Amino acid sequence: MIEGARELSLALQSGYKVESVYVCYEMFEKSKYPDILKSLPGNNIFDISLQVFGKIAYRENSDGIVAIAKPKHHRLCDIHLSSNPFVILLESVEKPGNLGAVLRTADAAAVDAVIVCDPQTDLYNPNVIRSGGVGGASLPCRRPPALPKRHLHGCRRIISVLMQQNYRLLIFTKI
């Protein structure tokens, strides 16, 4: 679910496929992105009342638009890295706003990809999307597959794979 015209615009620019859009025109008329509806097919835009929008909206001060989009597949094998990539590995991120802030910062720092190991929050949580800005929609953000207990888990497994492929690593951890 994508809430907000700005967030929807970023998702469309990043190639997300929108299945349906729900608009409360009473609220949407104040939007800073009124042209967003022109870029969508009219047959999947639905007019909803203020009362209905209040039931489905996640945040306060919304601009009256909510969209349902297909999530992207987040597989490690889909990441194509350069010979000198800048990759951020995160482990056990709990707060959606924190993950979004990292994605936004990573986008500003020209990071090639973000890998989220053992996430404690959903990559598509509305707070991740809202606080992630462009980075939340455009950066390759991946989650490693769940592994049986006999394998190394989380970032340790990813670090091991990257070391085997001779990537240079700079690792920070809390003490």
Mean pLDDT per 10-residue segment, the chain (175 residues): 88 88 93 88 91 89 89 74 80 85 85 80 79 60 48 68 75 63
How many CA atoms are closer than 13 Å to the CA of 26, on its beta-carbon side? 7
pLDDT of residue 64: 93
Using CA atoms, how far apart are residues 134 and 24, in angstroms rounded to an integer? Answer: 24
Task: Give dist(CA 96, CA 130) in Å, integer.
Answer: 9
Which pLDDT score, from 0 to 100, does residue 113 have? 81
State the Rg of the chain over Cα. Answer: 18
pLDDT the model gives residue 59:
79
The CATH 3.30.1330.30 domain(s) of the chain lie at 2-69
The CATH number assigned to the domain with range 2-69 reads 3.30.1330.30
Q: Is domain 76-164 in CATH 3.40.50.2300, yes or no?
A: no
Residue 91 to residue 97: CA distance in whole angstroms: 15
Position 152 scores a pLDDT of 45
**CATH 3.40.1280.10 occupies which residues in the chain?**
76-164
Give the SS3 label for residue 129: helix
pLDDT confidence of residue 52: 95
**For residues 103 and 136, is the Cβ–Cβ distance under 8 A?**
yes
pTM value is 0.70
